[in-house]
Amino acid sequence: MEGWDPNTKSTLTKIPLLTTKAGPRDGAAWTQRLKDEYKALITYTQMNKSNDNDWFRISAANPEGTRWTGKCWYVHNLLKYEFDLQFDIPVTYPSTAPELELPELDGKTHKMYRGGKICLTVHFKPLWAKNCPRFGIAHALCLGLAPWLAAEVPILVDSGMIKHKDDAASSAGS
């Protein structure tokens, strides 16, 4: 795992790996995969909470579990910046990772593709490809979104592209 910080590495290894290789068009196998996804997400969320590093909320937005919505946040200079998070499970999942979107930041940073899809590091896709089908949503958040927020939020704040909302800090807090 070249190119990753030790923290991300050690967190990643504690998230349960998935075993079912199935996408949203695979019927019963997808249901099995969804169960794996939930188990990994539950473990990861619990782990974050116990490490005092709670940083996202995510839930399936439809019964099929193909669209997910939630929130993620990052603390910079003791202030909490929170963003809507959304993504679709692609039809070729898990061969390809979900493309994580932060729609509120669309157009505010170069590290983003059209529609608010975050621009992942050169290390993400190779690692995902190598680990198919063992990585799931929880791994994508840990390897993709967490490092992105850590790198980009300070830049966005310092350049004045985003402002802190005082009232947003308390409402969805940990």
Q: What are the residues binding another protein (CB under 8 A)?
A: 19, 21, 24-25, 31, 34-35, 38-39, 41-42, 45-46, 49, 57-60, 64, 66, 70, 88-92, 95-97, 99, 110-115, 119, 122, 125-126, 129-134
Nearest residue (CB) to another protein, 90 versus 154 = 90
Nearest residue (CB) to another protein, 35 versus 165 = 35
Tokens of 37: 């996804």
Cα angle, residue 136 at apex, residues 48 and 6 outer, rounded to 5°: 50
For residue 129, give the 3-state DSSP assignment: helix
Closest of 149, 174, 146 to residue 7, by C-alpha:
146
Decide if 55 contacts 69 (C-beta within 8 A): no
Nearest residue (CB) to another protein, 12 versus 60 = 60
Q: How far is the CB of 9 from another protein (least distance, A)?
A: 17
Catalytic residues: 119
